A = this chain, B = another copy of it.
Amino acid sequence: MQITGTFLDEISHDIPHQNWGENEWRADFRHMKAVGIDTVILIRSGYRKFITYPSTYLLNNHGCYEPPVDLVDLFLRLADEEGMNFYFGLYDSGKYWDTGDMQHEIDANRFVIDEVWQRYGHYKSFKGWYLSMEISRKTKGAAHAFQTLGLQCKQVSNGLPTLISPWIDGKKAVMAASSSLSKEDAVSIREHESEWSEIFDGIRGAVDAVAFQDGHIDYNELDDFFAVNKRMADKYGLKCWTNAESFDRDMPIKFLPIKFEKLRLKLEAARRAGYDKAITFEFSHFMSPQSAYLQAGHLYNRYKEYIAQLPK
Contacts and interface: CB of A to CB of B under 8 A. Distances in A.
How many copies of the shown chain assemble into the complex?
A: 3
Contact of A252 (B176, B265, B299): B176
A24 B18 CA distance: 23
A224 to B, nearest CB: 14
A150 interface: no
Interface residues of A, number: 49
Interface stretch (A33-41, A136-144, A288-296): A288-296
A261 interface: yes
Interface stretch (A62-70, A153-161, A233-241): A62-70
Contacts of A255: 252-253
Main secondary structure of the interface of A (DSSP, over half): loop
Interface stretch (A9-17, A76-84, A102-110): A9-17
Interface stretch (A113-121, A177-185, A196-204, A207-215): A177-185
A50 B250 CA distance: 13
Interface in A1-38: 12, 14-21, 24
B251 A253 contact: no
A231 interface: no
A192 interface: no
Contact of A260 (B24, B65, B68, B252): B68
5 contacts: A12-B251, A16-B253, A16-B259, A19-B298, A177-B181
